[in-house]
Amino acid sequence: MTIQTENNIKIQRFFFGEMAEEERFEFEQTFAANPDLLEEMRAFEADLIEKYVRGWMSAAEKLKFEQHFLNTEKRRQKVEFSRQLIDELRQETNDEAKKVSIWNKIAGLFLTPKIEMATAVSIFILIFGGWFLLKNYETEKIEIVKNENSANAEISNRNKNIAVNTVNSNRQSETNRSTNLETNSTNVSVSLPTPTKTPEPKKTPIPKTAPNPVLALFAGTLRDGGEINELNLPKNSSGATFRLNLKTVDYQTFQAQITDGNGKIIYRSGNLKPQKSVINLFVPAKNLDKGDYRINLYGKNATGENESAADFQFRVN
C-alpha cells in the first residue's frame, strides 16, 4: 500500500512535469522494466483525462494539465476519445435508467399497500360490474322477447340519441352502427361511447441548417485568370470543406494551418490523409469571417517533421 502511494505521488509528479531530468529518466527506466507500474501509469493517465473531460479539475490542475499534457496531437486525440467514450456510456446509462424506471413505476403501482387495496377493490368492481351487466342483458333479452314492438321503438330512440351525440366527422360510421342495431336487436345492451378523434402528434419543426459548401482549391493559390477563389458561406452552415488538390503526393500525412489577411493563424487541422491526390479539409464556420485567407499545407516526413508542401488562397464572402 505504501509502495502504491509512493508510486502515485511519483506518477503524478511525472505527468505534471515536476521531475528533474535525472529523476525522470530513472523513473522511466523503472517503468520500462516493470509492466505493472506501466499499467498503473496508464490507468493514472486515463483518470487524469477523465477528470479533465468531466470538468473535475481545479483551475490550477486544469492549467497544469493543458500545459504539460495536452501538448501533443496523440494526447489530444486521447482526450477526444475519452470524451466520446464517457458521453456514449453515460447515454447508455440514461437509456437503461429510463427503461427500468417505466417498469418500476408499473410494478410500483402494485407494490404500495394503499394501491394493493385499490387494486383489489377495482378487481371486485370489475367482477361485480360484469356480473351486473350480464344480468341486465339477460333481463333485457327476455323483455325483448316478451314485447318485440316496444323493443324496436326503444332501439330507434337510442339510435336518435347516438346520432345527436356523435361528432360530425364520424357520422357515417355511426349510421352503420345504427343500421346494425336495427337489424340485430339482441346486440343492444349498453349505450355506445362517443368516439373521440385522436389528436395528431405535434410536429417539431426541423431546424433549418444550410448545407456546408465545398470549395476545390489547386496548389498555386490563384485561379487561371489571376482571380482568387471565393467561398460563399451561408449563415446557417456549420462550416466549409476545402478540397485541396495536390500536384504530387509526397507524404502520407499532412497538416494544414489557415492564416487570415493579417497573417494571424485562425485554424490548425489535425493529421490529414490524402485520398489519391486530394485532401479534404473541414473548417468550422466560426473560424471563417469575411476576408482573404491562405492555407499552408505541411507534409510529415519520415521522422515526423513538418515540411511545407503547398499553399492555397481563398476569400470568404
Which 96-135 residues touch other proteins, going by CB under 8 A? 96
Burial class of residue 296 in the structure, from the number of CB atoms within 10 Å of its CB (0-12 exposed, 13-18 middle, 19+ buried): middle
Q: What are 256's strand-pairing partners? A: 297
Question: Which range touches other proteins (CB under 8 A), out of 106-114, 200-208, 219-227, 303-311?
Answer: 303-311
Instruction: Please say which residue, 73 or 250, places its beta carbon nearer to other proteins.
Output: 73
Among 154, 219, 239, 292, the residue binding other proteins under the rule CB under 8 A is 239
Q: How far is the CB of 103 from other proteins (least distance, A)?
A: 18
Cβ neighbourhood burial of 253 (10 Å; 0-12, 13-18, 19+) = middle
Binding string to other proteins for residues 5 to 44, with x set by CB under 8 A, is what?
---------xx---------x--xx-xxx-x--xxxxxx-
Q: What is each CA distance from 45 to 15, 17, 48, 61, in whole angstroms?
A: 8, 13, 5, 14
Name residues whose C-beta falls within 8 Å of residue 52's C-beta, 6 or more positions apart in sequence. Answer: 62, 65, 79
171 near other proteins, rule: CB under 8 A: no
How many of the chain's residues bind other proteins (CB under 8 A)?
71
Q: Beta partners for 315?
A: 230, 292
Interface residue with other proteins, options 13, 141, 158, 300 (CB under 8 A): 300
Sheet with 214-218: list strands edge to edge: 214-218, 239-245, 278-284
State which residue, 188 or 288, has the beta carbon closest to other proteins.
Answer: 288
**What angle is formed at CA 234 by the lines to CA 230 and CA 236, rounded to 5 degrees?**
150
Examine residue 46 and tell whether it contacts other proteins (CB under 8 A).
yes
Q: Interaction with other proteins in 240-299: which residues (CB under 8 A)?
A: 241, 255, 257, 264-270, 280-284, 298
Do residues 253 and 272 touch, judged by C-beta distance below 8 A?
yes
**Residue 227 binds other proteins, judged by CB under 8 A:** no
One of 70, 144, 162, 249 touching other proteins (CB under 8 A): 70
- Considering only 138, 143, 289, 307, the residue that binds other proteins (CB under 8 A) is 307
Residue 92 or 289: which CB sits closer to other proteins? 92
If one asks whether residue 223 binds other proteins (CB under 8 A), the answer comes out as no
93 or 136: whose CB is closer to other proteins? 93
Give which of 222, 266, 216 is closest to 246, Cα–Cα: 216
> Are the CB atoms for 266 and 287 separated by under 8 Å?
yes
